[in-house]
Structure 1
Amino acid sequence: MTARAPANLRDVGTMVVVGGGRTRVGALLRSDAPYDGDDLSILDAVPVRTVIDLRSEYEAVRRPYRWSPTVTVHRHSLYDAGDLSSLSPAMTLTELYRDMLTASRSRIALLPKLLGHGNATLIHCTAGKDRTGMAIGALLLLVGVDPTDVVRDYRATEDNMPAVLERAHDAEVIPSTLMRPEWVQAPDVAIDVLIDEVTRWPGGVRAWFLDHGASPDDLDSTIAWLTTREN
Structure 2
Amino acid sequence: MSASESLVPGAVNFRDVGGLPARAGRTRHGVLYRSGNLAAVEAPGAEAFRRLGVRRVVDLRSDDEVAHAPSRVGDVETLRVPLFLGSLASFFVEDLSLTELYRLLLARSGDRIVTAVRGILGAQPVLVHCTVGKDRTGMTVALALAASGVDEDAVVADYARTESMLPAWRNAEVTARVRAAYPSARNLEELATRSPAPVMRGILDEVRAQHGSAEGYLRAHGMDDGELALLRRTLIAE
TM over 0.5: yes
**Unpaired stretches in structure 1, ≥5 consecutive residues:** none
Q: Distance in 1 between matches of 2:57 and 2:173?
A: 20
Q: Which range is displaced more, 196-205 or 140-149?
A: 196-205
Distance 1:201 1:121 in 2: 29
2:189 to 169, 177, 181: 181
Structure 2 CA distance for partners of 1:41 and 1:122, relative to 1, 3 Å: same
Residues 1:100 and 2:105 are matched in the alignment: yes
Which one of the candidate residues 41, 50, 62 is aligned to 1:56? Answer: 62
Kindly indicate whether residue 70 of structure 2 is the aligned counterpart of residue 73 of structure 1: no
- Structure 2's unaligned 5+ residue stretches are 1-7
CA distance in 1, matches of 2:41, 2:55: 19
Secondary structure at 2:34 match in 1: strand
Contact 2:28 2:237 in 1 (8 A): yes
Q: Find the counterpart in structure 2 of residue 205 from structure 1.
A: 214
SS at match of 1:158: helix
| TM-score, scaled relative to structure 2 | 0.82
Root-mean-square deviation (CA), in Å? 2.5
Structure 1 residues 166 and 158: CA distance shift in structure 2, 3 A = closer
Cα gap change, 1:144/1:37 in structure 2, threshold over 3 Å: closer, same or farther?
closer
What is the letter of the counterpart of residue 161 of structure 1?
L
User: C-alpha distance in 1, partners of 2:179/2:15?
Assistant: 25
Equivalent pair of 2:27/2:237 in contact (CA under 8 Å)? yes
Structural mapping, 1:188-227, within 5 Å: 188-227=197-236
In the alignment, structure 1 residue 114 sits paired with structure 2 residue 119: yes
Task: Work out the CA distance in 1 between the residues paired with 2:204 and 2:173.
Answer: 28
Counterpart of 1:30 (choices 26, 29, 34) is 34
- Cα contact 1:54–1:125 (8 A) shared by 2: yes
Q: Equivalents in 1 of 2:147, 2:235: separation in Å?
A: 10
Q: Secondary structure at the match of 1:44?
A: helix
Q: Give the fraction of aligned pairs with identical amino acids, expressed as a percent.
A: 32
TM-score, scaled relative to structure 1: 0.84
SS in 2 for 1:85: helix
Residues 77 and 168 of structure 1: CA distance in aligned 2, closer, same or farther (over 3 Å): farther
Q: 3-state DSSP class of the match of 1:136?
A: helix
In 2, Cα distance between equivalents of 1:66 and 1:6 = 10
Task: Quote how far apart the aligned CAs of 1:96 are.
Answer: 1.7
**1:128 Cα deviation (Å)?**
0.5
Deviation (angstroms), 1:149? 0.9
User: Take 1:109 and 1:78, find their aligned partners in 2: how far apart are those partners?
Assistant: 10
Amino acid in structure 1 at the alignment position of 2:222: G
